[in-house]
Structure 1
Amino acid sequence: MIKRLCLYLILTSFLICQPALSTEEHKPLPDGILKLDDGYYYIVQKGDTLWDISARFFNTAWYWPGLWAENDVQITSHNPHWIYPGQKLHLALRETPVPVQKPAPLPVVEKTSPPPPAPEPEPPSYHFASIHRVGFVKPEPAEASGKIISATESREMISASDRIYIQPAPDRTLPIAGRYIVYGKPERIREPGGRWRQYAGYLHHISGIIEITEYRNELTIGNVISAFRPIEEGDMLLPMPQRKASIPMQPHTEGLEGKIIAGYLGQVMFGQGDILYINRGEKDGVRAGQTYHLIEEKEISPTGSRRDRRIDRIPFGAIFILDTREGASAAFVIDSRKDAKIGTLVASPDR
């Protein structure tokens, strides 16, 4: 209820400050707009994204989470930017007349304590259902809690629901019902544009989730809860981090600049819907829930002379931060008019 109230307040403020839709009968409605009994609707066209629709009708692309939440019934994908031609999106609230009430008799004034302040509405959130498969970057390889020896039955490939033998790390006991993420050998990541031996850290790709189920004959046995990719003998374990699929949106850090340093399992080109990693983290002010721009740097000469060159920075997309560590962060591409790549500049949005 609070989330819906917050959404209505935000949407109403946009419509009052700079209305994009005409409520006057004599003014024609913009192309693609329908006026029904319960408000105004837009019919999705080929090539549309929530990012573009928000910019067109609410004078800011950054309102797309509110537009998504208002249409959670129509938009059923885990990626809110996957909308399809012909879908009907609710844009404005119905204008409901305020009923006229007879004045009530004046009550007897009694001295009472003031009512408690109303709780502040929760900020809008972004729901990322695949949050547990998002990897992380650390300066050095993580210290594993144990490793997988083999499956309890002969298997060419370990997958979900398989039972496995586990070797705990020295002087460690893995508790019954404890859950752990599984990862393979960390990938060493170079710093884009840096010296040949300058590294950004080690990328840990998450393969799945296991749960410790029993101890038997001095053996630790577990069960594979989820497998995001093939799990192999020798893969390592870490305690499962406390992550939530709903990530509250937060304001970005002003003046931040960084670069894309890696992608999922060697991916080097990135478009809408892809996961990537940047070389800025908690120590730089990056937090989960922030949004940053993807920037193209274009060299141009206003006079045509090679000696008179300028660098123009052109935003062509945006990323949403999913998880942060000390010096690096994982992000999701929420909008992109062209592919980004390793080394692409990431920066705070201009005011």
Structure 2
Amino acid sequence: MSPLRSHPARRRRLSRFALPLGALLLALPLAGCGSDDSDDDAGSGDAGSFETVSIDHVFGTTEIDERPERVVTWGWGSADAALALGVTPVAMPTNSYGATEEGYMPWQKEAIEASGDEEPTLLTDAEAPPFEEIAAANPDLILANYSGITEADYEKLSKIADTVAYPDQPWATPWRDVITTVGDALGKSEEADTLLEEIDGEVAQAATDHPEFEGKTIAAVAIDPSAFYVYRAADPRVQFLEDLGFTLAPSVGELDTEEDTFFYTISTEEVDKLTSDVLLSYVPNEERLAEIEGDKTFSAMEQFRAGTVANVVGEDIVSSVSPPTALSLTWGLDTFVESLATATQGAR
């Protein structure tokens, strides 16, 4: 999981495992022996023919020759796309930010319960993929198409099962591409297209209902006590805002001097230079919101003075749109749009 996937303060610990990866890889053939109960496995796909799929990504091309029956996801969004397409992963990442006690996002929990499938194994919350745990799930497909895996990680994962990585930059795959890639990999391309049409319809309706968004400039940020994070144009959060009619503020590009893929930081001395009609601020809770609003550092920002800050408050709501997924986008859309509408009223 990205250290900045939902909130910039989220830093992951590398996990430690008792068994070496090789030992579990050697054991995998034994796991496949015995009675064939694949039809009962969570994540089994639809019956019928499956045409070979080739998916290009940053580390090469992955060919999937058979319909996946045991799917493992890593990163953000892939599990949601699979669930939305009727495939419950056998293993998926544990979530902590805005999640249930078990480690599911609320929309994931709802989808799993509705499916009637066995609950997935939740993988250890860590910076690097927990290879042993993934291997133990005996997957035939690993979806990491919105993640931060390295080439070395990819090589290890590919020894476990066919693995799909991100197309170009880590943690920057557009949310629509996450859905279409998962659909292709699962042999559910048409279903993925239909799902996108439904989601796009809801987003388009929200934009229609709020014509005041059209052409307004916006900057999306997360304000931690230790840093001020700004999201770049390539980030799916920004792309979602553009879908609603907003335009990324020119100041976002003008202040960008770092080399991270989807965000950069600015000093408190420069925050007043981040100008925009609306400032979108992702805030974990009301306590942190009060701290931000009471911090004189930000009183120099025109958005705070004008009352055009859209605060998205609450870990679950922040996660639902930061960035959105096949399940979370519509789950948090109304609350998100309401926050933007309130802030935009004061924008010129």
Q: Tell me which interval the TM-score lies in, with the shorter structure as reference length.
A: under 0.3
TM-score, normalised with respect to structure 2:
0.25
TM-score, normalised with respect to structure 1:
0.25
Greater RCO (CA < 8 Å, at least 6 residues apart): 2
More helix by share: 2
More strand by share: 1
